[in-house]
Structure 1
Amino acid sequence: MDKQRADLQLVMRSGLDYLDAFELVNSDHLVHPRIPFRELTLMLARMMYWGRLNHTPWAKYAPSWCFKKAESYLDNLDSAPARWPALKKLRLDDSAEVMEALFSGVGESEDDEDRDVTFKSSVEFKPQAPRTTPPREAKLRRGSVSFGSSSSTPTVTDPPSEPPAKRHRPAQGRRRSVLARKEYSELAPDELALVGTPGRGVMSWRQYGILLKFAPGTANAIEQTTGFPDYTPNLAKVTEVEAVRTRWDPASFKVLWDLAPWDDMSNQRLKFLILHQLDHLNAQAKSSLVDIVDFMWKHRRAFWLTGHWFFIDHRLDDYSAELHADRKKECDTGKKNYKKLLDDKVRDGLPESVLEKPGIWTFPAKVCSWIWMDKPQLNDQGRPFSLAEQLRIADKLEPARVQWNSCDSDDQRVAHLSLSLRKKLLPESERRRYPVSTQRP
């Protein structure tokens, strides 16, 4: 049987069944967030070389920098890449055929050394975009937050690659990273310092030793909001539950709590419209922005907590139990009221497109797990990383946690948005002319 096209296979591995995956890939939908960056580059290169971009509807939504990477790949290629075939629909009367389509290796002839990218303390890091959903779709779900029960800069290293799994047991090799195949007790000290990201077909990996998986959908949130982290601890084994539980340290957390990092998040927020001119908004819309920014400030801690959802062992003591309950109540209330506020403002005439701009905060559809380091891990001064230091690293790696405040440039702030929105980025000379709110600095 001919193998199914690579994009269809990878979309199926992201969690969709065959029919849904085929419909997504074959229609005018956003697909690239479900595809690992390396595979996306190779696919775009094949489409470009063989003139198939116009025959692949989802390709037009891929970010421009992905095309630049594909062009660079083609420039260094000595021979023609594999053809980009037409999409073929399978008969569903043969389950073995469907499984073969899903698990026959994607690009098996290609080097697989990028399967498990990891990060360790030392050099500058450029974050990869996590698994996401279309911006407009995610914004329309602005009330659907699902709450679960996480100054050195990191360095990129590669763990040793392993042979691919046998075809008849694909989940064994394809769905777990190298470190995820180990028991927690088997991890070496340097492996506990690594931050993994899921490579090709990988559904389970480790971060600072903690086993992770993609955050499951709930009744209120099927997909994560564009650009936000989309993983959660994988607590399938007792040993993994204990590993997560032992990271909770109330004394260390109280130190961080007293620093009020949500205040920094608010003070460092993007305070100007960089995709929209204020002159184009009427008085009612400007007034709506003032109300929205005021709400963001009043509920800044709820936004911060949702973007930094750390595990609390609520059985440890009264403080932990109270924090566990209060956090959920605060975030639920903030999310519910923010949804009502935004809905009311849109009904009053505020263009919904304004809500997609940087500077207007978003409650992600799912909470963003923040994984704390193992206590013995030391910083450059030979001391254990404080939670404040860990927070700076997490926010730099995944700037959506702080509503993209930690980005180094406006281009980075809008990289997660659709191409049509990114094209509206104002000239640099105009990006500090239009404040989001005229009332709160």
Structure 2
Amino acid sequence: MAIGAAFASIAVVAGLGIVAWIAYEPALPEIARPSPSSFDRGLVAKGEQLATVGDCIVCHTAPNGAPFAGARALPTPFGILFSNNITPDEKTGIGSWSLAAFSRAMRQGVARDGSHLYPALPYEHFTHVNDGDLAAIYAFLMTRQPVSREAPENQLLPGLGFRPLLAGWKLLFLRQTQFERQANESAEWNRGKYLVDGLAHCGGCHTPRNLAGGEERGREFAGGVAEGWNAPALDETNPSAAIWNVDSLFAYLKTGSDRGHSAAGGPMVPVAEGLSRLNDADVRAIAVYVDSQMHPLRETNLPAVTVVATNDSRSAAAAAHPEADLLFEGACSGCHAPRAPMNINDRPLLSSASDLRADDPRNAVQTLLQGIAPPGGKGAYMPSFSNTMTDRQLADLLAYARARFTDKPAWPDLEAVVGDIRKENAE
């Protein structure tokens, strides 16, 4: 018994030693904050464009906070994380970080002091970014205005604040692989893939995740959930794939609306706002690559299929939902009725609206509850009806619109779905 206990103790100690060895990352030396004038202006300008692709300012800027100063709350299934300060402040930001420390954080998820970073920083995507682009982003961030701001303590489920656990997560889900150019594809396609898989980290939202929060391998771009909204599939399984092509994807990414069947809502609004500042060539490259995933057997940029209802089924919809018919006339018809005076080109037709035609009503519900604020204040605007309509009214209105403008079956338990999503938004 004593010998068995001794062996058990040795095994435990050995196991702990192995865990410590796996989790250990050395601290890298601090440096004096570089002078902004030490960076080439062209490199800084390149870094600004690349940081725009990565949407760095969105996650690293708190509401009404200084740009890149962090402290933004990032809800996750495991609790709330607060983003780090990435301004060049020496004490609370990255002003004392070398390029090597910055590159390690981006690719391996390890801070300068050796602590593991949570994968809310999508380093499983940034591992694909090349050295030159990381150097450009570093130059851009190091020339920003330093801001002294500490991030609040994370509010995670018990035990998950123990950062060495993240080393195990990385063993399971972090694959440090470099981008490989596909010789049989165009330069534009390869550029799009490089951006989508790397800095743009599109799979972070548009790929399903497992219970541990890792992206499901083999299901890239099969759709996910982001901030209470469905991030639709970006592959051929997207039920609206036929009505997208390179031109409509480019317009949607650049402006937040494709002037036909979709307007950016929820977490896509800041993405589109950022891409509006990105050069057209890179936005189009992203569109070319996404189009190839949605239509793997179709020639690039063939005309998209136009989905328009052959008739307006108002009579049948009104018979089934008489109160909603009145609600629609009062609240919606000015913008969304056929030939309505405000139904201008940048407002999608309901007969071809992707959210209204989807199998899952979540995004349609969120659109009514949260409204749509166009990127940069330019484009289609829709107010929130959260405070002016009950769950029953919203459910009835959505059921009416789906029956009137699409040939899709009714969504089940719609009032309960509206109530559940309203509660999620309030948490």
TM-score by length of 2: 0.27
**The structure with more radius of gyration:** 2
Compare relative contact order (CA 8 Å, sep 6+) and give the higher one, 1 or 2.
1
TM-score by length of 1: 0.27
